[in-house]
Structure formats: C-alpha cells, structure tokens
Amino acid sequence: MEEEVIINVEHLTKDYGYGRGVFDVSIKVHKGECYGYLGPNGAGKSTTIRHIMGFSKPTKGKIEIFGLNSFNNTHKILAKVGYLPGEPAIPLGLDGMGFLRMMQDMRGERNDERLNYLLDLFRLNPNVSVKSMSLGEKRKLAVVAAFMNDPDVLILDEPTSGLDPVMQQVFIHFIIDEKKRGKTILLSSHIFSEVDATCDTISIIKDGIHVSTFKAADLKEGDIATYNIRFRKLEDAKKYAGTKHPSFEVVGVNNGRKIVTVKVKRDLYLDFFKSLRGINVAEFSEKPFTLQDYFMSFYKEEKTFAGLSGVEGNKK
Ligand SMILES: Nc1ncnc2c1ncn2[C@@H]1O[C@H](COP(=O)(O)OP(=O)(O)OP(=O)(O)O)[C@@H](O)[C@H]1O
Ligand SMILES: [Mg+2]
C-alpha cells in the first residue's frame, strides 16, 4: 500500500527573473520516508524549501503539507514541522538556552528530556551567549531547536553545512534513527554521501530545473553499469569513442591507455555487447556505479544521459 503523501509540491515555479528561481518542480514526500533534495549551489533547493514552509508565494504551482496549502498556513506548519533553515537567524542578544526556551514558548511545548538528549548528542553547551558561538555551534543550536519538540516531519536545508566531519557522522546516524522512529524527512544537500547514507528517494535539481528522481535502492542495486574497455589499437579506441551509440554513452577516453569508458543501463546490455563485435578488445572491466558518479554528471554542462531515461524526470 502506498503511504500517505505528507509534502506535495506540484509544478512549483518561482521566477526571480534572469533565469533564476525554480521552474516546474514537483516533489512528493510520503509518510515515513527520507527524501533527499540534491543540487549544486544556486540550484533552487532553499527556494523550494521556503515555499514548502509557506514563506513565499509561488509564481505558479500547488504546494501542500499535511494537505494544507502552505502559503496560507505558515503558522500551523511551523508548529508541526521541525524546520532547519539554510541560514538560521538566531538573535545575537540571547544565550543558547534563552534561544531554545524562546522557541519552546513560541511552540507552546516543552520536552526537556528530548532537549537534553540532543544537547548531549551534539555536544553543545547552550549556556553561552549566541554572539560568542562559533559558526558550527550556532548551527548545532539551530539543529537542536529544530528537533527538540520531537516533530513527526523534518524539513532540513543543508543540515550538515558548517558541521565538522565527526558531527556530520553523528548527524547522519541521528537521521537514520529518526527514520526508524517513523519520521518523515526532507533534506537538501549538495553532499551525495549523506544523501546516499540516509535517503530512500532522491531528487536532483540543477539551475532551477528538476533533473531526475529515483529510489536510492535502485542505484545501489546497480541499474546502470560503467565499463572500461581497453582496445588493442588506438585507432579502434578513437573510432569507438567518436561513434554515436544510441543506447549507451561514452563518458571518458584515455588515449594513452587506449581505454574508453561507457555507461550502460543494464537492460540495454545487449546493444552494448553488439557494438563491440569484430573489434579487438584487450581488456574489459566493470566499475561499480555510485551516486557520486551520477551526481557529478549533472555538474558537467551539456551532458546527455543516454539509456538513463528509465528514471522519472525531465531534462533540459
Ligand atoms: N529572493 C530572491 N530574489 C532573487 N533571486 C533569488 C532569491 N532567492 C534565490 N534567488 C536565486 O534563485 C536561485 C536559487 O537559489 P537557492 O537559494 O534556492 O539555491 P540553493 O540550491 O539553495 O543554493 P545553495 O546550495 O547555495 O544554498 C539562485 O540563482 C538565486 O540567486
Ligand atoms: Mg540553499
């Protein structure tokens, strides 16, 4: 049975002009899943998240959370969601504990057991002035504030930015635990490893345009394979790399070693093997395909992804 949709973004467009903003983005986050929203700087992650929280009115599109229209229900949403902004604004005049108490009062809820657990987990001393806190400490304070009421839904904009590697790992384990406790999580990131470690569904956005959505498990099962083919003759390698192959893609050429690298979708294997018929191949090996490869390919301009059309998405 399909789980209930908690966050529903349909055809969101926010046009800031000059090609900036987000364009026709759709996202569905189901109850109990961890959804990764992955994209480079300026891709439109924070813009999308701010619209989900209802802080900004879309130019076009429908955005609902718990079935409520976001823009008209910001306060209700803030009360029910653990939200971590990309750039948390914490009043500098308070000390850490003062800020946490203020947030508890605003939500009308106080769960000190949970608060102490989080302060301990993230190793944060809240009894110092916010002004004197380091960037990472302020970040931790915002993380604790987002989680301290133990909300069922978490919306986290680049949650590990500013955290050191040890704290990033603590955070990743924490997210995995939260997922086990049944939480629904949407997190944005430009770090593939944290999304790979935590998320069930992953969406990639670039230049405001949704590029692809896929299940992390599908990628892990190796739906797409990368092969290195070492040719005996350089001219064969060059000719093979220069030929347009309709059902798979040449992603690299090393003339010195006469190696051509290709990406092939597993159900199009046969086409790939046929393409090697009659060519003198010295060696042939498979490289495991990772989310990192997949993500990096979207950083490169004018990249086509032959054979990857099996994943849902629209490409520029
Ligand atoms: N209020 C605004 N007015 C005008 N342009 C904006 C505004 N907010 C965002 N933009 C533009 O929209 C695009 C997307 O910005 P956004 O902050 O959503 O990116 P992001 O994916 O969160 O990036 P980062 O990883 O750097 O946080 C950028 O080109 C940005 O300059
Ligand atoms: Mg951002």
Phi, psi of 275, deg, nearest 5: -65, -20
d(CA 160, CA 294): 21
5-216 shares its CATH topology with 222-297:
no
Identify the pLDDT of residue 220: 62
State the distance from the centre of ligand 2 to the C-alpha of 89, rounded, in angstroms: 14
The per-residue pLDDT string of the chain (316 residues; one tens digit each, 9 = 90 and over) reads 578 999 999 999 999 999 999 999 999 999 999 999 998 889 999 999 999 999 999 999 999 999 999 999 999 998 889 999 998 889 889 999 999 999 998 888 889 999 999 999 999 999 999 999 999 999 999 999 999 999 999 999 999 998 998 999 999 999 999 999 999 999 999 888 788 889 999 999 989 999 888 888 776 656 677 889 999 999 999 999 999 888 888 988 999 999 999 988 878 888 898 899 999 999 988 876 566 666 666 666 544 443 333 333 333 3
CATH code, 5-216: 3.40.50.300
d(CA 133, CA 267): 53
User: Which protein residue has the closest C-alpha to ligand 1 atom 28?
Assistant: 42
Among all bound ligands, the one having the nearest atom to the CA of 41 is: 1
Complete edge-to-edge strand list for the sheet that includes strand 249-254: 249-254, 259-265, 224-231, 281-287
Residue with tokens 């823009």: 71
The SS3 assignment for 86 reads coil
Residues contacting residue 187 through CB under 8 Å, at least 6 positions apart: 34, 35, 36, 37, 154, 155, 156, 157, 159, 175, 194, 195, 198, 199
Identify the pLDDT of residue 224: 73
C-beta of 20 in contact with ligand 1 (< 6 A):
yes
Indicate which atom in ligand 1 lies nearest the CA of residue 205.
Answer: 21
Report the top-level CATH class of 222-297: alpha beta
Residues contacting residue 82 through CB under 8 Å, at least 6 positions apart: 146, 147, 149, 151, 153, 154, 155, 156
State the distance from the centre of ligand 1 to the C-alpha of 225, rounded, in angstroms: 34
Q: Model's pTM, two decimal places?
A: 0.78
Residues contacting residue 237 through CB under 8 Å, at least 6 positions apart: 229, 231, 253, 255, 258, 259, 260
Buried b (16+ CB within 10 A) or exposed e, 57-67: ebeebebbbbe
Indicate which atom in ligand 1 lies nearest the CA of residue 49.
Answer: 18
Number of neighbouring beta carbons within 10 Å of residue 108: 8
C-beta of 46 in contact with ligand 1 (< 6 A):
yes
DSSP label at 74?
H
d(CA 216, CA 45): 19
The domain ranges of the chain are: 5-216, 222-297
State the distance from the centre of ligand 2 to the C-alpha of 26, rounded, in angstroms: 18
